[in-house]
Amino acid sequence: MTPIPEREGIVSRRLLAALSSAVLAFGLAACSGEGAGGGTDTAGQDPKDLTIGVSMPTQTSERWIADGNSVKQKLEAKGYKVALQYAGDDIPTQSQQVDQMITQGADVLIIAAIDGTALTSQLQAAADKKIPVIAYDRLIRGSKNVDFYVSFDNFKVGVAQASALLVALGLQNKDGSKGAKTGPFNVELFAGSLDDNNAHFFFNGAMQTLKPFIDNGSLVVKSKQTAIEQVAILRWQQETAQKRMEDLLTSTYNDGSKVSGVLSPYDGLSRGIITALQNAGYGTAANPIPMVTGQDAEIASVKLINDGVQSSTIFKDTRLLAEQAVIAAEAFLQKKQPQANDTKTYENGVKVVPSYLLPVQTVYKDDIKAVLIDSGYYTAAEVAAGQAK
């Protein structure tokens, strides 16, 4: 499982996406007429006669590669045909791919959107053909035609990230009690892409947790950049996060002061932030690396945690998320409503979308074996190498 390099040019990404779209069109055309297309009764049909379209945002993150593969494998194990496509972080490409899935007869759509507001016309087309739509991990906004949402408790992800930062700094213990340290500690904040609904949940959960410590002076955001619009990283790009950290060090920490911690919402951003810090001289005995959080337990970052470089990550088990997506898809194919465990939280601007939310786990160095290795998510050799097979 090798992710496309973060530095791949946008032209190459779009060329790859265009080729993938062509393959999708050919593959779906080959089975056109066999699937129910959403409009006919799928309840009694053989799985081999049904097609599920799976749209993932990018292959620049190993997390999304794992998600796509997990969903595909679990559906195929049940006998379904699967049209899996990655959009190369390009909104028009994803729109085109979803259009093709609808036109060529998908019976259910599972979509992890690049931009949660950019698929309104595609979702209307799906609704017109009675094709159920499952939003996968990222809520699709601005449309009544989102039938179900499977994700993790994203507000709690933000709470967990902020709590992990407080624990790493010694302001709080893992059980939530008061820590031995009092600060003040200089920290900087990062958020995800503003067009990703999850980024707002992550940031709001984190800020609710950090605010008392900022208010009492235990934490100091020296740059004074505390609004999500100031700290967001478009498309969750590692290079953008690295550049912003470099700019912060140049503009705010040119007086000899030091950064003690960084709230990072995603491991890819964390690696960019850490690179900027190391390039600026952090990471020595005299100038230790700041505490940097993360999310997704990407193998490169798990190695950094194991090596004492990154302080923590939030583990979201994509195997469980894929399983819930499959359960929801099968319920729709049987003309049933999937079971939700949250029917109040995820309002997409038009409706509250019934949701199934999964729990998350904070992973520090001493949790790697129990949480990631013993569960079979990674092997010890993969953690040591920083690369998954």
Among residues 261, 245, 257, 305, the alpha carbon closest in space to that of 167 is found at: 261
Distance in angstroms (rounded) separating the CA atoms of residues 150 and 172: 31
pTM above 0.95? no
Q: What is the mean pLDDT of residues 89-99?
A: 96
251: nearest Cα among 214, 272, 293, 280:
280
Mean pLDDT of 370-377: 97
- Element (DSSP H or E) covering residue 268: helix 267-279
- Rounded CA gap, 288 and 260, in Å? 9
pLDDT tens profile 297-336: 999 999 999 999 999 999 999 999 999 999 999 999 999 9
Residue 39 clears pLDDT 60, i.e. is over it: no
Per-residue pLDDT, averaged over 125-141, amounts to 97
Rounded CA separation 303/9 (Å): 26
CATH for 154-316+363-385?
Answer: 3.40.50.2300
Which H or E element spans position 186? strand 185-189
Q: Under CATH, which architecture does the 10-146+318-358 domain have?
A: 3-Layer(aba) Sandwich (3.40)
Q: Is the dihedral of CA 77, 78, 80, 83 positive or negative?
A: negative
Token pair recorded at residue 135: 């939003």
Confidence at 270, pLDDT banded by 50, 70, 90 = very high
pLDDT tens-place string over residues 164-214: 999 999 999 999 999 999 999 999 999 999 999 999 999 999 999 999 999
Residue 3 has pLDDT above 80, yes or no: no
Q: List C-alpha distances in Å: 154 to 95, 159, 328.
A: 25, 9, 19
- 10-146+318-358 and 154-316+363-385 agree in CATH topology: yes
Region 227-233: mean pLDDT is 98
Tell me the percentage of the chain whose pLDDT exceeds 90. 86
**pLDDT number for residue 40:** 60
**pLDDT tens-place string over residues 138-169:** 999 999 999 999 999 999 999 999 999 999 99
Mean pLDDT value of segment 255-279: 98
Sign of CA dihedral 125, 74, 337, 39: positive
Instruction: Report whether pLDDT(1) > 70.
Output: no
Give yes or no for residue 129 having a pLDDT over 60. yes
Each domain of the chain, given as residue ranges in start order, spans 10-146+318-358, 154-316+363-385
Using one digit for the tens of pLDDT, what is the confidence trace for 22-31?
444 444 444 4
Q: 33 pLDDT exceeds 80? A: no
- The tens digit of pLDDT for each residue in 334-368 reads 999 999 999 999 999 999 999 999 999 999 999 99
Nearest C-alpha neighbor of 94 from the set 26, 14, 12, 151: 14
As separate numbers, helices (DSSP H) first and strands (DSSP E) second, the chain gives 12, 12
Cis peptide before 184 (omega within 30 of 0): yes
Higher pLDDT pick, 43 / 8: 43
Q: Residue count of the chain, please give it.
A: 389
| Mean pLDDT taken over the chain | 91
**Are the beta carbons of 35 and 81 closer than 8 angstroms?**
yes
Q: Is the pLDDT of residue 18 over 50?
A: no
Q: Are 165 and 291 a contacting pair, CB within 8 Å? A: yes
Distance CA 121, CA 126 (A): 9
268 has pLDDT over 80 = yes
Euclidean distance between the first and the last CA atom of the chain, given in angstroms as a whole number: 5
